[in-house]
Chain A
């Protein structure tokens, strides 16, 4: 098997995630799709790291994971506070700037 297949899989997962972000309107699901895109990028980094035979790709994937963890914490906090004020997690309602 050609290891480039890992890159194709990463591209496919990234595309699915991007489509999900455009399609879904539940903020939590949109957020999950973003996580899927980040994971797809990580897979591409790891595959590149193997192709080039050095660990730099893995380091970048590691930093991506750390940033994703921080991002999830803040993002979910925003969703929870949005839900508190509007009683819905739909991104449509969040377009209104006022309560």
Chain B
């Protein structure tokens, strides 16, 4: 028996080491997928878990599936997820308020109970058989899979083809939107704005008078409050506006104070104001 066959029949110390290290990473990734607040982080953690699983497939002698896992799952499916997160999830923050009272704890309890059941089931099962894939992979893993797919499972394979076509058509039907009315022209839009009496001139620019002109900083109104109109709607929805109005006012106050100290002026007390007013009467 060659060394390769021997490696397939018994789990070596190296594989045990690999299992414990990568298994820990997979579980941590799965937990992060569930508990990360942002959908993007969840997607990246899940991609990590899937890569670890691909390594496990390779270690278990499923060479074709290992590569397919990386190409199809982490390459295509997870990137599709990220694509949709970019379309949908960035502005939609996941609210952490419970709508059903105690639902989270009940869900955790159900999960733990389910896990205990699964573990007990595996623990009680008679899993003494261990043949290894050496014999099955003797003519090559891909060739073995192909021989099975195109003989024993050929009907399932054909049904899968029908399923894929249906899915592609379904996705197109679901996301396609027929335009029922003509797109309005710029002229019609401006006429509508004037008729409704909404904001007519172009929107004011962001930034605060040459100190900050970044797009995420609201411009200030004459009374020092930030103007909502100056910042992009997307940034406003994401809550990514930096408000420097109080900073600017504090700076101005400090500057005035310094100037007065330098000129050795004293702050005028309110009483003196009143007195001068009375005197002028």
Contacts and interface: CB of A to CB of B under 8 A. Distances in A.
Given A62-B145, A80-B175, A15 B89 contact: no
Interface in A44-99: 46-47, 49-56, 58-59, 61-63, 65-74, 76-81, 83-84, 87-90, 92
Interface of B: 11, 13, 15-16, 19, 23, 26-27, 30-31, 33-34, 39, 42-43, 46, 49-50, 53, 56-57, 60-62, 64-65, 68-69, 72-73, 76-77, 80-81, 84-85, 87-89, 92, 94-95, 99, 103-104, 107-108, 110-112, 114-115, 118-119, 122, 127, 129-137, 141, 144-145, 148-149, 153, 156, 160, 163-164, 166-168, 170-171, 174-175, 177
B77 to A, nearest CB: 5
A51 B127 contact: yes
25 contacts: A8-B122, A9-B56, A13-B27, A14-B118, A16-B111, A17-B34, A19-B107, A29-B34, A29-B39, A29-B94, A32-B39, A33-B34, A35-B73, A42-B65, A43-B57, A49-B136, A51-B127, A52-B129, A53-B134, A53-B135, A55-B133, A55-B141, A63-B153, A70-B164, A89-B88
A14 to B, nearest CB: 7
For the complex, would chain B's binding face be called helix, strand, loop or mixed by DSSP majority?
helix
Given A49-B60, A55-B148, A70 B163 contact: yes
Given A11-B115, A15-B114, A22-B110, A65 B60 contact: no
A11 B30 contact: no
Given A13-B49, A15-B118, A36-B49, A73 B167 contact: yes
Interface of A: 1-9, 11-20, 22-26, 28-29, 31-33, 35-36, 39, 42-43, 46-47, 49-56, 58-59, 61-63, 65-74, 76-81, 83-84, 87-90, 92
B93 to A, nearest CB: 9
A39 to B, nearest CB: 5
B186 to A, nearest CB: 24
Task: Identify the interface centre among B34, B50, B136: most chain A CB within 10 Å of its CB.
Answer: B34
B68 A65 contact: yes
Contacts of A62: 64-65, 68, 145, 149
Contacts of B69: 42, 65
Given A32-B33, A89-B39, 19 more contacts: A9-B56, A11-B122, A19-B107, A28-B42, A28-B85, A43-B56, A53-B133, A53-B135, A58-B145, A61-B65, A66-B160, A67-B163, A72-B80, A72-B81, A73-B80, A77-B174, A80-B174, A90-B92, A92-B99
